[in-house]
């Protein structure tokens, strides 16, 4: 039985109540009155006392009938309808159809903070010995053919935000690759790695760069093992991390680097403090941006504590997406965003990419797989346009309408409103709240 049924039931109850009350009045006047020999005034008083008793009893009966006959969901909706404000304002605009009651039909999106520990696979638990060894390997140029490049050359974790601020990185012999170096901070929370999501774990990933001819240029896994074995100062740390009497293997090298990377996490951003209960951690602009991030639909892809549907938080993760979803020839041409099809078949018009995490994004310009966009507001405008089909512009911010379907009992927001420059700024302000304070301080500008 739906809401209509419940409303009908209530109406019938009220009519019955009025009829009952009238019958009682007539009875008191014509039956009880003459018998009781009371004065006219007292007769009315008696009617009132008996009548209100009866009204109370009827209400009780009606409530019992309601709770017995109607599903909990229906009653909750009724209560929600009564509680909702009749008119919701949104900055200058007003919600159209505001006289319609607003009913919450879905469980709202839950915002979550990043945990303080990154999960590790059972075969490679994170130990202090492995982490220390992994840190040394990560910064060791011996893993590259001409001993000039280490992981940290492109992922500066000691002084930077885990990347190199270049559109695409420079590897051995000054060779320039064709993709932007993503930050390694919080990569430990991603279910798949690389822009196209082709690596399934940090352990798998760690062997890639040393063997990549453009990055570190080592000819083979054996060559990497030889390099590390040749350095006697590695013997003791490997023995401590993996047990003595075992030759150093590529698997151990990868395991140690991965263990170190699992400590490169930033659960200390203002956003995390806000979600954990510090009301003052976000500014008003950031709060507006947080709401927009949800209502514009960024959370459809950049979801969960790592702001990526490709992270380990919501199994099974949904890792890759079309980019662009909505065509924008202008943006595509200006930034050559659909030259590289990513994980899609070569020559495809629409590319497929792993959903990147947006943590520390304000510190990791330039943006996108090809590093073609320098400014974060521009990246946000592109995303709103090509991933959400929204118009972005200054000035005319039209009326945002709430569309309530009486028939389906669903609510949606009319998506045609132009996102203003201020909306974009608010989203950018919110994205800055995802920056670790420690990393932002290094950058010198808080993002």
Q: Is 215 a catalytic residue?
A: yes
When binding is defined by CB under 6 A, the residue of 185, 189, 195, 331 that contacts ligand HEC is 195
Q: How far is the CB of 17 from ligand HEC (least distance, A)?
A: 52
Q: Site map for ligand HEC, 335-364, x if CB under 6 A?
A: ------------------x-xx-x--x--x
Residues numbered 133 to 152 that lie near ligand HEC (CB under 6 A) are 138, 143, 149, 151
Q: How far is the CB of 377 from ligand HEC (least distance, A)?
A: 10
Nearest to 428 by CA among 334, 365, 369: 365
Nearest to 307 by CA among 241, 356, 256, 265: 356
SS3 state at 56: helix
Q: How far is the CB of 152 from ligand HEC (least distance, A)?
A: 8
Q: Quickly tell me which residue has 């301080």 as its tokens.
A: 441
Q: Site map for ligand HEC, 393-432, x if CB under 6 A?
A: ----------------------------------x-----
SS3 state at 403: strand
Residues numbered 287 to 326 that lie near ligand HEC (CB under 6 A) are 296-298, 300-302, 321, 323, 325
203, 215, 261, 378: the active-site residue: 215
Q: How far apart are CA 234 and CA 228, in angstroms?
A: 7
Q: What is the DSSP string of 129-171?
A: HHHHHHHHHHT-GGGSTTS---HHHHS--SSSSSS-SSSS-B-
User: Are the CB atoms for 70 and 1 separated by under 8 Å?
Assistant: yes
> Residue count at the site for ligand HEC (CB under 6 A)?
52
Strand blocks (E) in 281-400: 320-323, 351-354
Q: How far apart are CA 345 and CA 208, in angstroms?
A: 22
Closer of 114 and 301 to ligand HEC (Cβ): 301
Residues numbered 60 to 119 that lie near ligand HEC (CB under 6 A) are none
| Number of other CB atoms surrounding residue 106 within 10 Å | 7
Check residue 305 and report its DSSP letter: T
Nearest to 86 by CA among 6, 94, 365: 94
Closer of 273 and 390 to ligand HEC (Cβ): 390
Q: Which residues bind ligand HEC (CB under 6 A)?
A: 138, 143, 149, 151, 153-155, 169, 171, 177, 179, 181-182, 184, 187, 190, 193-195, 202, 205-206, 209-210, 215-216, 257, 296-298, 300-302, 321, 323, 325, 353, 355-356, 358, 361, 364, 367-369, 379-380, 383-384, 387-388, 427
Active site members = 215
């Amino acid at each position: 039985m739906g809401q209509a049924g419940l409303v009908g039931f209530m109406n019938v109850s009220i009519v019955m109540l009025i009829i009952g009350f009238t019958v009682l009045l007539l009875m008191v006047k014509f039956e009880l009155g003459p018998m009781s020999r009371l004065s006219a005034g007292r007769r009315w008083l008696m009617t009132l006392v008996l009548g209100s008793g009866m009204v109370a009893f009827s209400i009780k009966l009606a409530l019992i009938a309601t709770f017995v006959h109607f599903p909990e969901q229906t009653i909750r909706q009724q209560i929600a309808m009564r509680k909702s404000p009749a008119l919701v304002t949104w900055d200058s605009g007003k919600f159209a159809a505001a006289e319609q009651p607003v009913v919450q039909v879905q469980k709202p999106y839950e915002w979550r903070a990043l945990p303080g520990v990154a999960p590790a696979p059972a075969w490679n638990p994170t130990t202090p010995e492995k982490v220390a060894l992994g840190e040394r390997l990560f910064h060791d140029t011996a893993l590259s053919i001409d001993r000039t490049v280490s992981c940290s050359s492109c992922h500066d974790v000691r002084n930077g935000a885990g990347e190199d601020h270049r559109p695409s990185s420079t590897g051995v012999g000054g060779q320039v690759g064709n993709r932007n170096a993503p930050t390694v901070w919080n990569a430990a929370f991603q279910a798949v790695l690389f822009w196209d999501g082709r690596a399934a774990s940090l352990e798998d990933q760690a062997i890639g760069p040393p063997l990549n001819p453009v990055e570190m240029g080592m000819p083979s896994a054996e060559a990497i093992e030889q390099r590390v074995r040749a350095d006697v100062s590695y013997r003791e740390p490997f023995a401590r991390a993996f047990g003595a009497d075992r030759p150093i293997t590529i698997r151990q090298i990868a395991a140690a680097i991965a263990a170190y990377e699992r400590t490169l996490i930033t659960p200390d951003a203002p956003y995390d403090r806000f979600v954990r209960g510090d009301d003052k951690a976000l500014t008003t602009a950031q709060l507006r941006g947080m709401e927009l991030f949800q209502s514009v639909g960024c959370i459809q892809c950049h979801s969960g504590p790592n702001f990526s549907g490709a992270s380990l938080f919501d199994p099974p993760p949904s890792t890759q997406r079309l980019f662009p979803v909505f065509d924008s020839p202008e943006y595509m041409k200006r930034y050559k965003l659909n030259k590289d099809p990513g994980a899609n078949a070569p020559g495809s018009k629409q590319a497929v990419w792993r959903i990147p995490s947006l943590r520390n994004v304000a510190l990791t310009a330039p943006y996108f797989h090809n590093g073609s966009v320098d400014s974060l507001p521009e990246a946000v405008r592109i995303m709103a346009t090509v991933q959400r089909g929204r118009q972005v512009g200054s000035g005319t911010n039209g009326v945002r309408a709430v569309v309530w379907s009486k028939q389906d009992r669903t609510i949606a927001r009319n998506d045609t409103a132009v996102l203003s420059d201020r909306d974009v700024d608010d989203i950018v302000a919110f994205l800055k709240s995802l920056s670790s304070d420690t990393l932002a301080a290094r950058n010198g500008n808080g993002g």
